[in-house]
């Protein structure tokens, strides 16, 4: 069975254009759904964060509204509570990629703050891509691609879109928008309908557009593990 590295943001805020610190972290469903998909299939998941800090869950991602009802929100919260890996993350800078068969980056606005400029993450992403390891990056986590130089130029990629950021009410407050920066990076950006599942596969790179893409993205990866 496979050993999968989950790289999570270590940030608990996102700095907006006016300097305001918007509380955030990782998005609950984007960890919980792939984690469940992989572990139920018998694979092992290991979590890493910058500095080995215990990752912060975005409180908004635990709301009933974000999960289609209170019952599902409670179920997601219980899954996070049961995932001991979240409380014992590796230091990202110490990770040996050779020990892992695949890499998965859940999103949330946190990666916009730290992984977008994290050189250790950028090197890991570029190496995973170059070695052909299955590499999945979800929602706002493609911000981490910005720290990998031009390694992803020319790849078909999706991520949380400008339209989705506008509908979420944060586009006008952001220092920069993810879709814009990825296009500047040279990727072939593939936008689907707002908040609808959209998974794009290009060689060994798997990207998902938004939280609703977390399940389909994990299932696509599962087929090659």
Q: What is the pLDDT of residue 52?
A: 98
Tell me what pLDDT residue 71 has: 96
* Predicted pLDDT of residue 110: 98
Q: What is the pLDDT of residue 136?
A: 98
Contacts of 178 (CB under 8 A, 6+ apart): 112, 140, 142, 143, 159, 160, 161, 162, 165
Residues 6+ apart with CB under 8 A from 32: 76, 79, 80, 83
Burial class (CB in 10 A: 0-12, 13-18, 19+), 103: buried
- Angle, nearest 10°, between helix axes 28-40 and 70-82? 60
pLDDT of residue 134: 98
Q: Is 31 exposed, middle or buried (0-12, 13-18, 19+ CB in 10 A)?
A: buried
Residues (pLDDT < 50) of the chain are none
What phi and psi, each to the nearest 5 degrees, are found at residue 202? -135, 110
């Amino acid at each position: 069975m496979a050993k999968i590295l989950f790289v999570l943001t270590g940030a608990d805020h996102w700095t907006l254009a006016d300097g305001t610190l918007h509380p955030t972290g990782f998005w609950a469903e984007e960890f919980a759904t792939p984690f469940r998909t992989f572990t139920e299939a018998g694979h092992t998941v290991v979590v890493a964060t910058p500095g080995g800090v215990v990752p912060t869950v975005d409180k908004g991602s635990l709301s009933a509204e974000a999960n289609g009802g209170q019952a599902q929100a409670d179920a997601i919260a219980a899954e996070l509570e049961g995932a001991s890996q979240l409380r014992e993350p590796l230091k990202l800078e110490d990770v040996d990629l050779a020990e892992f068969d695949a890499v998965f980056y859940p999103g949330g606005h946190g990666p916009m703050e730290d992984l977008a400029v994290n050189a250790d993450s950028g090197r890991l992403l570029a190496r995973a891509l170059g070695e052909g390891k299955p590499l999945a990056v979800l929602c706002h986590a493609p911000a981490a691609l910005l720290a990998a130089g031009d390694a992803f130029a020319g790849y078909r990629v999706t991520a949380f879109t400008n339209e989705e950021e506008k509908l979420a009410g944060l586009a006008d407050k952001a220092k920069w928008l993810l879709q814009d920066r990825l296009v500047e990076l040279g990727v072939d950006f593939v936008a689907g309908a707002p908040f609808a599942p959209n998974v794009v596969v290009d060689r060994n790179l798997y990207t998902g557009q938004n939280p609703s893409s977390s399940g389909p993205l994990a299932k696509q990866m599962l087929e090659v593990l």
